[in-house]
Structure 1
Amino acid sequence: MTVAQDISKASPLGRLNPLTLFAVCLAYLAAAATSFDAGFQISVVVLVAAVLLAVQRVPPLLLLVLMVPFVLFGMGFITTNLLFRRDSDFAVHLAGSESGAALSAGLTLSLRALACGAVSILFALSVDPGAFVRALIAYLRFPARLGYALFVAMQLVPDLLAEAAHLRMARAMRTGRPVGRVPGPSEMAGLMVPLLAFAVRRAGRSAVAMEARGFGALPARAMVGVPGFSWRDAAFGLTSLAVLAPLLVF
């Protein structure tokens, strides 16, 4: 999460309003989810990868690591169609393959998963989570309580990882054993109760903080640091839609 925030703040797309990039990503996701054309899916993956590498300056190794879950998910479609022969006639028809071509249907669905995953990675690495939540509250009337809960959740995840690392180090010092790279099943079971207690304490403090801030007391709230709109948002939105339209047509 820290790496994503650093990339988003230092990137050109990080200067845009988060809602602009959110709307563009939603448009591309909707197109990728409803299209079964293999050429369109490949074009989306190549386009997003080019933006991440050339514009966002994302390290190629990081991009490959982030794409691994989507590659595995796409391979599941291929193996399912090959092993169980449960190919979708609708998907095969839209892909331009012969009816019953299990491999073609699996590849088409796999490319769709890769395209959706690439667009999701672009959004995650280009938007500051805090600015996105503030924009949701300010412009889309997102409930302030839920927004503050999202802030707490974003801070809780790295804090839980740090607390787990401290607990593992303390146990290693007490037992005289080196800290392993990956915790084993017994060590994970021993960390569950302390981490749960840590999360419960943080939840109590967050509830007190929300009460102190008077959430729900007034219908309108003053906000600081709300991202605004500029000519960059209009230029980026029109350019993105202008690129999407010919991809859908051809």
Structure 2
Amino acid sequence: MTTDTQAAASVDPYAEAASTAPVHFLYGLNPLAKLAAPAPAMLLLVFVRDLATPAAFLLLAYAVIVVGARFTRRLALILLVAVPLGIAAIGFGFALWTDQSQVADTPVVWQLGGWTMHVGAFAIGLATGLRLGAILALALPAGLTTTGPDLARSLVQQLRVPYRIGYTAIAAFRFVPRFGHELEVIRQAHRVRGAHGGRGPFAAAARWAGYVVPLLAGAIRHAERVALAMDARAFGAHPDRTERHLVRWRVRDTVFVLAFWAASAAVFWSTYPWALALI
């Protein structure tokens, strides 16, 4: 297998989940359980305005991910760099956009001419950043430990979504790594032929413009092959299909959902952000 094929396979949504230690329980849960467990908290976090509630859910999500998922370099970058930087950037941005007249009674951080930054504006910005960061973190357990095929199978098997929709969506999503592989092949072919060489923005624009036509042609060919393969297998001819791989809803899925709901209720009960949210 070439390096390009390996790179494409590394992001293949059809790839089977790698075997993990039993402590990494997230990989063995039904995808719908990992979506249903944080859903109420994610919805209610939209309406909170305090600092403690999103911070508690951020810690809860981090704890679930660290315990239940494999700790890789990518996961470390997401948890330790991307999420904190996103929270800081969003918080600072909302602090700048906050109407300073609403927080005029709070201490002043700095003053530039007629523009003043108050502590209350920073608190509002930080609360907004933490809220969005907590919502993102709560979505990470499902996003980092769920494969595309398992999600489609669970939607079809548990939620009775028509398989024509579920498997067609997965076939369309499969185009992403395919496009990445074909783009790399096209770039290598252009380099071999010495096409669109040089440096600078104009040369880069010429190179990318040269990728468009062959990439579209490859996409059309791939779509035709997929359509022919689905027709050859009588896709859509019957109301249901026999599934070789079953994604079952087990007792552990129910336990995980109920435990997460209980933890979410405990967080909301202890912080009780509703009074502040209604201000």
1:4-83 to structure 2, matched below 5 A, reads 10=20, 11-59=24-72, 61-65=74-78, 68=82, 71-72=85-86, 75-76=89-90, 78-83=92-97
Q: Based on CA coordinates, which of the two structures has the bigger radius of gyration?
A: 2
| Further displaced range: 183-192 or 35-44 | 183-192
Cα 1:147–1:74, aligned 2, differ >3 Å: closer, same or farther?
farther
Contact 2:83–2:133 (CA under 8 A) maintained in structure 1? no
2:223 is aligned, of 190, 199, 203, to 203
| Further displaced range: 103-112 or 75-84 | 75-84
Larger fraction in helix: 1
Contact 1:5–1:127 (CA under 8 A) maintained in structure 2? no
Indicate the residue corresponding to 1:240 in structure 2. 260
Distance 2:156 2:13 in 1: 25
1:121 counterpart = 2:134: no
1:167 is aligned, of 186, 189, 201, to 186
Cα 1:184–1:45, aligned 2, differ >3 Å: closer, same or farther?
farther
Indicate the residue corresponding to 2:247 in structure 1. 227
Q: CA deviation at 1:102?
A: 2.7
Indicate the residue corresponding to 2:113 in structure 1. none
> What is the root-mean-square deviation of aligned Cα atoms in Å?
3.4
- Which amino acid is the alignment partner of residue 222 of structure 1? T
The count of residues paired between Structure 1 and Structure 2 equals 239
Question: Which segments of 5 or more consecutive residues in structure 1 lack a partner in the other structure?
Answer: 90-98
Cα 1:220–1:119, aligned 2, differ >3 Å: closer, same or farther?
same
Query: 4+ residue stretches of structure 1 with deviation over 4 A?
Result: 2-9, 86-89
Q: CA deviation at 1:80?
A: 4.2
Cα 1:171–1:147, aligned 2, differ >3 Å: closer, same or farther?
same
Distance 1:49 1:30 in 2: 18
- Which amino acid is the alignment partner of residue 241 of structure 1? W
1:85 counterpart = 2:79: no
Q: CA deviation at 1:5?
A: 6.2
Distance 2:167 2:238 in 1: 15
Distance 1:146 1:86 in 2: 49
Could you tell me the TM-score, scaled by structure 2's length? 0.73
Indicate the residue corresponding to 2:150 in structure 1. 131
Question: Which segments of 5 or more consecutive residues in structure 2 lack a partner in the other structure?
Answer: 1-10, 104-117, 271-279
Distance 1:51 1:8 in 2: 19
Distance 1:144 1:88 in 2: 52
Cα 1:19–1:202, aligned 2, differ >3 Å: closer, same or farther?
same
Between the two proteins, what is the percent identity of the paired residues?
Answer: 27
2:211 is aligned, of 191, 194, 206, to 191
Contact 1:42–1:111 (CA under 8 A) maintained in structure 2? yes
Contact 2:38–2:260 (CA under 8 A) maintained in structure 1? no
Cα 1:35–1:150, aligned 2, differ >3 Å: closer, same or farther?
same
TM-superposition CA deviations, 1:40-96 (whole Å, max 9, x none): 11111122122222321222553434762784476245324414638999xxxxxxx
Contact 1:87–1:102 (CA under 8 A) maintained in structure 2? no
